[in-house]
Chains A and B, each alone.
Chain A
Amino acid sequence: MAEHVGIFGGRIPAEVETLSKDLKDLDKELFRKILKGKISQRWWKLVRAGSLSEEKLSRIVSGLFKLLREALRFPGSSVKQEGFKEDLRELRISEEFIADIASVVFGNRRSALDAAVTQRGPRLPSLMEFRWRVDVAISTSSLARALQPSVLMQLKLSDGNVHRFEVPVSKFQELRYNVALILKEMNDLEKRSILKIQG
C-alpha cells in the first residue's frame, strides 16, 4: 500500500487508466511529439495512414493531458520525483515513457509552465499598461493665476478596458502612501511563519 497519496487522490480518470494499454505499442518518437503538444494537421494525415487510429490518439492525448494537469497542480517542491514515478508505474506505464513524463514535471521548463498557469487562474483584471502625465493648470475660468499641478493617469487593464482619469495631488499622495503600505504588508506576510507551512 503506498504511503503517499497518489497524484489523483484516489479517483483516476478513465483515460488515464487506459493510458498504459494505449501507450504499449506506441512509437517512442510519436509519444515525445504528443507530449510536447506538437499535433498539427499534417501530422493527423500521417497518423491516419499509419496504424494509430484517430480514436486511440484522442484517448492518448486526453489521458496524457489529464495526467500532466494533475501532476502540474502541485508545486515542484511538494512532489517527490520517486513518488511520482511510482504512481506512474502503478498505472502500468512503461519505464521509458515515465522518464519522458517526469522530465516535463521536474525539468527546467517547469517554472515557465507554472508561470503560464498562474496567469490563467481566475483573476481580477491586472494592469497591462500604465501611462501618466503631470499637468500644471496655469489659469482657469475661476482663477487667473492657478499654478496648480495635477496628474493624469491612463490604465490599460487585462480585461481590455482603458481607464483615464485625473488625480489631484492630494489623492496622488494618498495612492502612493497606500501602495507603499501594501508592499510593506506583503513583505511582512512573506516573512512570517504562516508561510512556513510545509507543502
Chain B
Amino acid sequence: MAAIVKETQSIKEAVAHINAIDANKFTRLLSRILQKLHLKGERSFSEDEEEKLQTALAMEKQALHLVLETTSFLLEQAVYHNIKPASFKQQLENIQVAPDKAEAFCQAWATAGPDVVEKIRQRIFAPKKLEHVGWQLNLQMGQSSQAKLKAPHAVLDLGVREEYESEHLQNVFVEFSHQELLEFYNKLETIQAQLDSLT
C-alpha cells in the first residue's frame, strides 16, 4: 500500500526524538495517546502531566510537543487507512523509526487499534446531535376546560448537543397523546427498515 506518511523534515526530527526514548516509557505513552485518540479536541496529556513528562523523558517542551503530535499523527493515519499491524510496522521502519519503537507501535496498534477505529467510525460530526433520551408518562386527570379526563400523555425529553458546546445540553420537550405516539413509532419503524436494508 502507499506510504501513509511522507518523510518531511519535521517527521525526521520527531523520529529522532522518539528513538531516544526508553522503550517502556514509550509503550506507556502510546497506550495513553491511543486511549484519547477518538476524543476530538482533547489533549492526551494535561498541562501538569506534560510537565512531568518533560522531566521523566528529559526533554524540552518543544521536543515533547513534537513527539506527542507526531505520534498522534502517525496513529491517526493508521486509523484513516485502517492499516494492518504488520504493514504499519514496515512503514514506520521506512521512515527510520527504530525497530523496538516500531514493534511497540505495532503491538499497541494490534491491541487497541480496532477499538479506536470503531469509536471513530461511530463519531459523526453534525451541528446538533441527539445525546440523551428521557421520558415521562402522565395520566391527565383534568384541565381547566375539561374535567374527568383519563388521558395518558407522554413527554419525550430529547437531549441535543451542539457541536462545539461541550457543557450545554439542549432539552427538547415534546408531548404526545397515545395516538400521536403511535404514529411517531410507526415512522421510527420505517426508518429502522431502511437501516436494516443497508446491512
Interface positions of A (Cβ within 8 A of B):
69, 72-75, 78, 114, 117-118, 120-127, 130, 132, 134, 136-137, 142-153, 155, 157, 163-172, 174-176, 178-180, 182-183, 185-186, 189-190, 194-195, 197, 199
Contacts and interface: CB of A to CB of B under 8 A. Distances in A.
Nearest to B148: A199
Interface in B111-156: 117, 120-124, 126-131, 133, 135, 137, 139, 143-152, 154-156
A168 B129 contact: yes
A120 B148 CA distance: 16
Contact of B135 (A69, A170, A182): A182
B191 A148 contact: no
Contact of A134 (B147, B149, B176, B195): B195
Given A127-B176, A143-B117, A179-B184, A166 B152 contact: no
Nearest to B131: A171
B148 A171 contact: no
B138 to A, nearest CB: 10
19 contacts: A117-B146, A121-B144, A125-B174, A127-B176, A130-B184, A130-B187, A142-B76, A144-B80, A144-B81, A165-B126, A165-B130, A166-B124, A166-B128, A166-B129, A167-B130, A168-B122, A175-B133, A178-B135, A178-B156
Contacts of B130: 153, 165-168, 171, 175
Given A74-B148, A143-B80, A143-B121, A121 B143 contact: yes
Contacts of A123: 175
A175 B152 contact: no
A145 B180 contact: no
A124 B79 contact: no
A142 B181 CA distance: 38
Given A179-B181, A179-B184, A149 B195 contact: yes
B79 A142 contact: yes
B88 to A, nearest CB: 15
A189 B145 contact: no
Contact of A190 (B117, B128, B149, B152): B152
Contacts of A132: 187, 191
Contacts of A149: 195, 198
Contact of B174 (A69, A126, A168, A190): A126
B45 interface: no
B73 interface: no
Interface string B183-196: 01101110110110
A178 B181 CA distance: 11
B174 A127 contact: yes
Contact of A182 (B76, B143, B181): B181
A154 B156 CA distance: 15
Contacts of B139: 189, 194
Given A142-B80, A143-B117, A121 B145 contact: yes
Interface in B74-93: 76, 79-82
A114 B149 CA distance: 11
The 10 closest A-B pairs by CB, nearest first: A166-B126, A165-B128, A124-B175, A121-B143, A167-B130, A186-B152, A134-B194, A176-B188, A182-B154, A150-B124
B57 interface: no
B154 to A, nearest CB: 5
Interface string B16-53: 00000000000000000000000000000000000000
